[in-house]
Amino acid sequence: MEEIIPLVEKKIDTEKNKYINTFDDNGKKVEVLNGLYGAYIKFDGNNYKIPKGGKDASDLTLKDCLEIIAAGPVKSKNGNGKAVAKTEKLSKAEKKAKKETTKDKKPATKKPAKTADKHAKTADKPSKKKAKK
């Protein structure tokens, strides 16, 4: 029980310090948050990395946040940590055409594995096993 209390208090402090700033942009929330890997901006369901060397996260204004959103890449939602550029949504016909072009591609062929040198040398020597009579 004594071990649980500090963990719960730490979680409560983390939640209190999560929100650095919150703005309203035409009915949509722009939030500056503390994350596991530093501060970031959350807007319209997407996360935006705050560039290094710029302003401190607590000093950002709504205008600064909107500039970062307009210029910066969108962090992917699948959690792989790689930033991907925001793309336009494709129509059903475009998706189908793209899918058909990928089907036409030739599948990759797998090269056979190389054998170690010691195995190659022993393959040249005759077997020492005697045949049963």
- In this structure, which amino acid lies at residue 50? I
What distance in Å separates the CA atoms of residue 44 and residue 28, rounded to the nearest whole number? 7
Q: What is the pLDDT of residue 23?
A: 92
Entry pTM: 0.49
Residue 120 has pLDDT above 60, yes or no: no
CA 29-23-17 angle, 5° bins: 95
Q: How far is CA 61 from CA 24, 33, 45, 74, 100, in A?
A: 11, 13, 19, 19, 46
Mean pLDDT for the chain? 76
pLDDT of residue 42: 92
Name the region of 68 (left: φ>0; alpha: ψ -120 to 50; beta: rest). alpha
pLDDT in tens, 69-83: 998 765 555 555 555
**Could you tell me the pLDDT band of residue 58, with boundaries at 50, 70 and 90?**
confident
pLDDT at residue 91 tops 70: no
